[in-house]
Each structure stands twice: as structure tokens, then as C-alpha cells.
């Protein structure tokens, strides 16, 4: 779910990569057993493990900006370890912190942080230049300059998107005045909905971005100017999870402290029925095949994987209690460390995206539900060869993101991003009859299928595989480009919403 590694060429700086959110936090050894944490999330397990492994205690927690994609762990570090929180004064956070502005410096006890105001991704965004004496060691850039891009500017307010994009240009140009060989340590990276191109690299250098960043490099001419930068940045903005709209304010107020341990209670079938009666939602974290074989009617399929938290935040309701269904023995009966860790992972990923409402898991899983004589819903997972002979009368529904669909899709497929299926009008616009849902591998497709089933559709199947597999089975080539409006597989008017 996350990885820990040293930053090349800079001893004492450890990157902690959250593969699901596409972000990196950093742990800096300050000497004498003290450490600085930068942009740590509420899920502090890896950071604390790395600190303990190096004999460190976090005494400073720096925040580059008010995060929209995860809840910050800075408040928890302050409460548990006495860490001093460093953040922008302009962010007006409502918890104890050292408010910083452009040009301020913080003595870390040997090393120093120099504050650079870098508005753009957010209005109060800061970058932190790490110095040893007068020698720059690297710069923590948060969501300003990142590997191959700059983070999106439409999260604060749609009305400020262009204004902040121009501010982002000025901030990036300012960072480019630093030395070419200076390491750049961004928070957002590949896989982040805060915008980053695909790729394995999580860190970079000023010189590399100056010469290769697509937002900055001129095409057959001089470097891109402000207007070209803004145009390219805005052209690359896709949709983002709905929960992004509320986490910035939660981070400003300060997330609630997390009690430990976090493993939720085991709930009887009667408990779950009572909770459902009070509005609880059931989230099934089992693999695709297990959900297809049988599940609690109306439940949301969201297989546990690195991206579980992102899709929970996008598809579930943060105001309703969450009951989890997973495949494991009752915790009271079996001492199974792997399964206990699985539920911990579910809860930590939920907490990280602002879901403090996981109330428990169904004890005994689906077997207990069946044994109680309660109804179970099933759907089909079909191979590309099985689906190939039936595409004529079946609506092929591709639920990947716009950029994925444009890069290559099954000819004639209907395109609705997974998040769009929360809109009853979008679901109602899909042509009546059989629906074959597809994504790249099957997890998002099963989430989509569960939403369609909950909305009353019955003839729904999921493709095991992606568009390449179905095209190979049908002997056709991938189509490219955005969805075509007016698709015959969608009722009148749905083209504009695809």
C-alpha cells in the first residue's frame, strides 16, 4: 500500500510513498534523534515505522498546503509527540501552529527551513527550502513544481482556477531560479488526482524540470510563456473525487485525533440490519470474483487495494455509517494477524480520506448473511472471449477516466466515468437491456456494476480484463479519442453528459 525509501543523494531524507493516493510524505533526520515530517497524512503507520527504525522522534511537522486529497497527520503528531506544526499563516488553521509567510526561516537545530510562498495549487501554498548552513539540500514543493507537471488549480474554487493557474506559473518560475542540481521533493506524484503524469519517478531536480517539463518546454521554440503554461495546465485537468471538496476545510479546522487501536467491532447480522434501518451503507471489500458470486443487496463493491480510500471517498456517503463485508473468520474466534491487518487497512484508508464512520464489519461475512436466510444478489464476471459473441445486443459501458478512454477504447462503447454513476439521470440514460461494464482490470467495473444493481438494473455483467482484451477477442482495433455524443447505446440527451 505504501513504500519507504531513502532519497537518492541526500542522506537522512526518507520518502514515504502512498501508492493509492499517488503522494509522498518525507521524514528528515535532524540529528540528536529528532526528525522533521513534511506533508504527513493521518495514516502515520509507515512514517512512525520509519522513524522508529531510525531511532527518531518527530519534533516538527511541516505542511505545504491545505490538502484536498487526504487528512493531515500534523495535528496527531503534535498531540502524540509534541511536534511543532509549521504551516502558512494565510491558511488560517484553527489549531496551534507556527504561522509562516514568505521569507521566514525556521531553525530546526542545525538545519534550516526557508519559506517560499508558492500560491497556485492553493492560495496559501508554501514551498520549503532545506538548508545546511547556507547550502541548499533540496526543496519540498508540495503541489507547485512536481515531476513533469504542476498540480491542478481548480480545487479551491472554479471561479479562481485561471487566477491560480497564473499564480502557479509565477511560483514555478520562481522555483526555477534555484540551482539546476537542487533536488525537488514534491508531495503529489503519479496516480494523484491532484494532477501528475504517469511515471515511476517521485522526485526530480530543478534542471530536469526546466528542460523536460511539458508545461514549461516550448514546442519548437522558446520556453512556454504564461499563457501557454496556463493553457496546457488547464487542458490536462480531469475530474477528481467528490471528497476533495470537503477535506481542505477539515484540514483547516484540524482533523479529529484518531484512537488506537482502530480495528472496528464485529457486528451480528441483526446489528447490521438495525444499522441499515438507520441509514447505514454496506461496503464490500472482497475481490471482484467473490462479490460477483454473491453479496448483500445494495452494497457497494470496493475491493481492498491501494486505491480503496480514493474510491470510498468518491462513491460512499461520508454522513452515513459504513458496515464492511470481507472474507475472513470472526475475529473473536480466530487469531489471524493477516485478516486483522486487512481490517486495519480498510479503516486507516477510510480515516485518511475523512471517513470516521466505519462502525464495524459483518461477523462471519457473507456466509453469516446467507445462514440467516437473507437474500443475496449475484452478477457475472465474463471473459473477453465469452463477451465477444454478444456485443451486438449488449451495451458496453466503459467507466474509466476520460483520459484513459481517449487513449484507447472498444469501438462503440458508451463512456461514463465511474463517479458519474452516482447521478441517477446518467444511469437512467443507459439503454435498457444487457450491460457489460469494463475498466482496465475489473475493480472499478465491479464498483460500477454494484451501483447499477443498487439502482435497479438487473442484466449487468463485468468484463474480466480491459479494452485490449475485448478488441483482441472481437478482432477489432482500439478506437481513440473522446466519447462521441449521441451514442445509440445511450438514451436521447445523454451524449452531453458522457
Instruction: Tell me if the bond preceding 261 is cis, omega within 30° of 0.
Output: yes
- How far is C-alpha 139 from the chain's CA centre? 24
**To which residue does cell 470510498 refer?**
312
Burial class (CB in 10 A: 0-12, 13-18, 19+), 143: buried
Annotation marks residue 439 as catalytic: yes
Write out the three cell numbers for 230.
496556463
Rounded-to-integer distance, Cα 174 and Cα 130, Å: 16
Residues 131, 10 contacting (CB under 8 angstroms): no
Q: Which helix (H) or strand (E) holds 14?
A: strand 13-18
355 forms bridges with which residues in the sheet? none
Catalytic residue among 194, 326, 439, 471: 439
Scanning 30-160, the segments in alpha helix (DSSP H) are: 45-53, 74-81
Contacts 24+ apart (CB under 8 A), 175-180: 175/116, 175/118, 175/127, 175/139, 175/141, 175/144, 175/145, 175/206, 176/145, 176/206, 176/209, 176/210, 176/216, 178/129, 178/136, 178/139, 178/206, 179/136, 179/206, 179/207, 180/205, 180/206, 180/207, 180/210
Rounded-to-integer distance, Cα 364 and Cα 351, Å: 24
Residues recognised as catalytic: 439
Amino acid at each position: 500500500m505504501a513504500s519507504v525509501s531513502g532519497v537518492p543523494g541526500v542522506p537522512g531524507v526518507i520518502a514515504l510513498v502512498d501508492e493509492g493516493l499517488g503522494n509522498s510524505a518525507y521524514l528528515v533526520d535532524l540529528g540528536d534523534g529528532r526528525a522533521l515530517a513534511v506533508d504527513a497524512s493521518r495514516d502515520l503507520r509507515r512514517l512512525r515505522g520509519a522513524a522508529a527504525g531510525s531511532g527518531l522522534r518527530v519534533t516538527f511537522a511541516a505542511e505545504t498546503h491545505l490538502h484536498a486529497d487526504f487528512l493531515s497527520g500534523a495535528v496527531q503528531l503534535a498531540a502524540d509527540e509534541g511536534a511543532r506544526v509549521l504551516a502558512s499563516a494565510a491558511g488560517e488553521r484553527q489549531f496551534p501552529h507556527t504561522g509562516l509567510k514568505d521569507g521566514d526561516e525556521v531553525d530546526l537545530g542545525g538545519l534550516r527551513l526557508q519559506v517560499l510562498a508558492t500560491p497556485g495549487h492553493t492560495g496559501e501554498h508554501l514551498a520549503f527550502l532545506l538548508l545546511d548552513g547556507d547550502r541548499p539540500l533540496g526543496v519540498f514543493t508540495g503541489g507547485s513544481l512536481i515531476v513533469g507537471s504542476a498540480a491542478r488549480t481548480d480545487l479551491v474554487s472554479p471561479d479562481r482556477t485561471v487566477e491560480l493557474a497564473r499564480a502557479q506559473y509565477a511560483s514555478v518560475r520562481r522555483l526555477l531560479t534555484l540551482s539546476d542540481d537542487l533536488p525537488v521533493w514534491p508531495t503529489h506524484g503519479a496516480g494523484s488526482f491532484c494532477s501528475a503524469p504517469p511515471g515511476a519517478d517521485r522526485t526530480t531536480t530543478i534542471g530536469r524540470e526546466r528542460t523536460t517539463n511539458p508545461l514549461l518546454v516550448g514546442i519548437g521554440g522558446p520556453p512556454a510563456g504564461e499563457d501557454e503554461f496556463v493553457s496546457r495546465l488547464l487542458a490536462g485537468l480531469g475530474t477528481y473525487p467528490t471528497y476533495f471538496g470537503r477535506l481542505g476545510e477539515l484540514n483547516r479546522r484540524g482533523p479529529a485525533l484518531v484512537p488506537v487501536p482502530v480495528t472496528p467491532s464485529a457486528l451480528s447480522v441483526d446489528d447490521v440490519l438495525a444499522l441499515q434501518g438507520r441509514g447505514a451503507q454496506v461496503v464490500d471489500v472482497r475481490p471482484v470474483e467473490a462479490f460477483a458470486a454473491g453479496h448483500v443487496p445494495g452494497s457497494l463493491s470496493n475491493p481492498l487495494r491501494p486505491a480503496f480510500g480514493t474510491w470510498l471517498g468518491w462513491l460512499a456517503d461520508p454522513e452515513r455509517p459504513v458496515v464492511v463485508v470481507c472474507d475472513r473468520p470472526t475475529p473473536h474466534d480466530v487469531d489471524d494477524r493477516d485478516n486483522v491487518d486487512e481490517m486495519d487497512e480498510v479503516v486507516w484508508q477510510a480515516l485518511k480520506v475523512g471517513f470516521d464512520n466505519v462502525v464495524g464489519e459483518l461477523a462471519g461475512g457473507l456466509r453469516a448473511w446467507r445462514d440467516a436466510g437473507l437474500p443475496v444478489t449475484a452478477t457475472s464476471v465474463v471473459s473477453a472471449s465469452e463477451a465477444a459473441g454478444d456485443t451486438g445486443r449488449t451495451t458496453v459501458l466503459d467507466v474509466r477516466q476520460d483520459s484513459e478512454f481517449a487513449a484507447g477504447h472498444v469501438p462503440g462503447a458508451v463512456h461514463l466515468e465511474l463517479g458519474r454513476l452516482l447521478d441517477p439521470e446518467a444511469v437512467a440514460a443507459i439503454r435498457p437491456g444487457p450491460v457489460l461494464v469494463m475498466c482496465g482490470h475489473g475493480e472499478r467495473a465491479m464498483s460500477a456494476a454494484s451501483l447499477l444493481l443498487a439502482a435497479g438494473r438487473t442484466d449487468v455483467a463485468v468484463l474480466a480484463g480491459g479494452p485490449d482484451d475485448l478488441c483482441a477477442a472481437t478482432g477489432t482495433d482500439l478506437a481513440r479519442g473522446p466519447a462521441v455524443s449521441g451514442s445509440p447505446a445511450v438514451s436521447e440527451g445523454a451524449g452531453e453528459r458522457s
